[in-house]
Structure 1
Amino acid sequence: MEKMEKNTDHASVTPNKAVMEVLSPENCDAVILDNGRTINNFIDNKIKELDSLDNEPFYVANLDSVFERHHRWLTNLPRVKPFYAVKCNNTPAVIQMLRTLDTGFDCASKGEIQMALSLGVTPDKIIYAHTTKPGFHIKYACAHGVDLMTFDNEAELLKISQCHAKAKLILRIIVDDSKSLIRLSSKFGARLDTVEKLLERAKELGLEVIGVSFHVGSGCTDSLVFKQAISDARHVFDLANLLGFQMTLLDIGGGFSGREDFQVKIEEFSEVINGALDKFFPPESGVQIIAEPGRYYVESAFTLVVNIIAKRVDMDHPDGEENSSNKMVYYINDGVYGSLNCLINDPAHTSVTPYLHKAVDSSKQRYWSVIWGPTCDSLDKIIENYWIPELEVGDWLLIDNMGAYSVSITTTFNGFEKAHIYPVVTAETWHALNLSHTNGIINE
C-alpha cells in the first residue's frame, strides 16, 4: 500500500499540538477500494493479516454508505440542511466526509466543537446544540466564532449573557416524544406555557433569539409527531415576532433511524415534514430549516468484526430438555464495555445478530449458544438463546449496524483496547468528491 503525500491545508484551523493530534494518520486513514475491490475483500484481507498478529476487534466504516445517505436526504428533504450530530459517532473520517458534503454539525461540548474545527469545519457550520452548557465551554465557543446555540431556561440565558452576549440563540421547546425509543423531553426543552416568559427575559438581557428547535426523540416510530411539533414551533415563532425578535431558523432535531429494517424510513418522515413545513413555514417565509440527524448517517455504515477468544461446552439443557444438544458458550474480544455498549446504553439498539465470517453449510447442525464479552463482569453478555453452528476459537464474527452510539462511548474497562476503525471508500466515490486533499489517505 502506498501512502499519499499529506496536505497541510488544515494548518490554519489547528491552533495547537493537541488539535494536530486529532489529524494524525492513525485516526484519519481511509482506504480507497479500487480495481473492483469490495468491502468484503478488505475484511478478508484484514482478518488474514490479524490472524498472524493479535486478533484485535475492528470496525469497517463504509464511507460510501454515508455518501449515499446524504444524497437520499437531499432528495427527500431538500429544504432541510442536515447538521450531523457529532455525539453519535465522532470518527474523524466521517466528519471529514460530511464536511466535504457541506453539512453542518451539531456539537454538544467544547471538545466536539474543537474536534470539528480541527477537521476543517468552519464556525458558521456549527450549532452548539446543548441547553445546559458549562460556562467555560460557552466562552470557548465565543472565542472561536461559534455563535449559534440553544437554551431552554432562564439560568442558561444569564450564563450566555455573561459568556457570549452576541450569541444567536435557538429556543428549544418540548414536543411529543412518546412515540420514540429514547425520550428526551424529561431532560431538555421548555414547556409552551413558559416560552413567553423566557423570550421576555432574553429581551431584557439584550440577547438575540433567532429561532426554535425541538427533538421528537431518538428512534422515532411515528412520523406524524413532526406535524404537531412543527405547528408548535410556528406558535413560538409568532410569539417571538410579536416581541420584536427576528426569527429566521427552525431546527427540527433528529429521530431518524439509519437501518433499512426500521419501521419508519426517511421517505415516510419526509412526506409529513415537507407537508408541515409548506403549511407553517413556506419557502417565502425566508426561514432556514435545519435538522440534527445522527443515526441516519452512520448506523448502517459501520460493521464490527470480532474474534472468538475462548469456548466452553456446558452439559445443561434449555428448558429442561435432557435430550437437546449441549449449550455452547463463547467469549469474544469485544463487549458491552466496548463497542457493544449499545446493548446496555442505547434503548434504540438492544440486540445484535453476529454471523460467521466464513460461509456455513445451511444443513449444518445448530447448537443452543451464548456469547459473552471479554471482561470479568457477568453483565458483559452479548446474546443468549442463539442457535448457530458450532464455532471454534479463532473464528471471526461480523456484526452489522454498529455505527450509532458505539465508538463514541466505548471504554477500556479491564484494559481491553478499543476496536480500531478502518474507513473505506470506493475509488468512484472518492474521485467524485475530489477528496484527495484529506490527510492520511491510503491507496490499497
Structure 2
Amino acid sequence: MSSGGSQGGLAVGVMNALQKNKGLWVGWSGEIDQDTDAQLIHYTFDSVRFATFPLTEHGHQAFYIGFSNEVLWPLFHYRTEKVVYDRTNQKEYLHVNQRYARHVATLVEPHSRIWVHDYQLIPLGHFLRQAGIDAPIGYFLHTPFPPWDVLRILPDYENLLRYFSAYDVIGFQTKCDLRNFEDCIRHGLDATFYEDGTIEAEGRCFRAEAYPISIDLDTAQEMARQGVESNTGKRMANSLLDRAIIMGVDRLDYSKGIYKRFQAFERLLEKAEHQHGHVVFVQISPPSRTDVPEYAELRTSLERLAGHVNGRFSDYDWTPLRYLNRGYSRESILGFLRLSRVGFLTPLRDGMNLVAKEFVAAQDPEDPGVLVLSHLAGASWELQEGALVCNPYDAEGVADMLDQALVMPLEERKARWQQMIEVLRKNDIHYWCQKFLDSLGKAS
C-alpha cells in the first residue's frame, strides 16, 4: 500500500512484488476531489489489482506537500534547514492516514498480510490497530532514517516513533538506517531489545531489519538491450559521434546532488583537457513535485549552471553537458545506461538509488561501463567493491574519479562489473520481496 505520489524504487519494486504475489495496491488515485466520502475505485492494470481514492485539495496540499514533502522528506534526508513545519499540516497528515485506514479495513480478509510503504503512511498501522485489525502488518521505509539528534527537530517526534510500534515487521534500506531507528526508539520510547532480535515498545513486540530493495535483473537486462535497438537508443548513439557518455538519471530533487554533480563535471573539464571533445555528460532529470516552490528554484539553478558550463567549454562541434529536464520510458533509460561509459550517481543522501543497480544490470558484459557512486547512497553498501565510491561534496575528488572511470582499462572494468552483477543476482527484487514477506508471515 502506497501513497500515489511515490515514484522510482517504490513504484517499480512494489509493482513487481504485487505481480508475483497477487497483491492489492491501495492508495491515492492521483486525483483531487472535494468529496471526503469518495469510495474506493477498483481496477486491474498490468496484472495488478488496484483500489484507489482521491484526496481533497486541502489533503493534497497539507498531507502530501505540506507535511510529507516539506517536513518528513527533508528531515529523513538530514536536510533540516529545509524543514517547514506547520501544525495544521501535521493534523491533516494524521487525518489522511485515518482515511487510508478506514478504506483498508474494509478490504482485510482472514488471511491478509498488510504491507505499508514509505514515509507518507507511517501512522497507518497505528490507525489500523485502532480499527481492530489484528492481521500481520509490515512497514518498509524507502528513504533513509535519520539519527536521534536529527529526528528530534520534529515537534511531536515521540508520537511518530510510537506509530512504528504498531507494526510487526519494519524494514529499512541499510544497516545504517536500522541503527538510527534502533537508537531513536531506545532514547525516545525506552524500548527493550531482546537477544532474539525482538524489540518491545509501547506494549508491543516487533522486529526491525535491513532489507535492501533491488531490481528485476532479467527484465532490466532485456529492456536495456531493447532500448539500445530502439529509435531513441539509435538516435542517442548517432548523436554522440563515438564520444563516451557520462550518464546521470535522477528525479529532480535536492537530495540527488545534481548541482554538485554539475560542478564536479566542470572541474573535470578544467583539469582534464585530454577529455575535451571526447566525452558528453547527459543528465536526465524529469520534473518532480512541481507544486513545491523549492523544486522550481532548483530547476532554474541547474539550467543556469548547465548553461554556464556549456558556455565555458563548448566548441562548434561539441556540447559537453546535455541537461534534459523531461522523462523517458524505462526502456529508453536502460538503453541510454547501456550506451554509457560512466554511470554518474552522486546523491547527497539516498535510501537506495535503484538507478545505480539498473546501470550495472544494463551493461554489456563484454564492454561494461564504470559506476561512480556516492557513499551516501544506500546502494553503495552493496556495490562498494565494484563501484568507484565518492564523496559528492568533494568536487575535486569526484572529478578525479570521473577521469579514472573514463580511462579505466577493459579488464578492470569487467572485473568491477562482475563483482556488482553477482550482488544483484543474489539479491534481486524477488528475493527482497520474499524475504520481507517471510518475516511478516512468521509474525502471524
TM over 0.5: no
Q: State the TM-score, normalized to the length of structure 1.
A: 0.34
Structure number with higher helix proportion: 2
Q: State the TM-score, normalized to the length of structure 2.
A: 0.34
Q: Which has the higher contact order (CA 8 A, sep 6+)?
A: 1
* Greater radius of gyration (CA): 1
